[in-house]
Amino acid sequence: MSENFDPVACVQRQLDAYNARNLERFVAEFTDDTVVCRLSAAELIIQGKPPLDNWGIRGGQPASEVALGFNLKV
């Protein structure tokens, strides 16, 4: 991480990219030494720069493979 890293600006750029539904811009904020953890459980979610393919939820898992704890029938 560079000495001039501004975490607030980084998060704002990711939020703007997310709201614009621009995956490339969102992932561009990650670097090879990025570490993302779930703070409530100290659980590693992402380490390094995630690939663009199969970008889903909970660390890149497809939504169809995430156990949400309930079934929804439509």
Q: Where are the domains of the chain?
A: 7-65
Give the pLDDT of residue 72.
67
34-60 confidence digits (pLDDT tens)? 887 887 777 887 788 776 665 656 555
Q: What is the pTM of this model?
A: 0.54
Q: Is 28 left (phi over 0), alpha (psi -120 to 50) or beta?
A: alpha
Q: Look up tokens 């030494």; give the residue.
A: 33
Each residue of 60-74: pLDDT tens digit? 566 667 676 777 676
Nearest-angstrom CA–CA distance, 30 and 9:
13
Predicted pLDDT of residue 12: 94
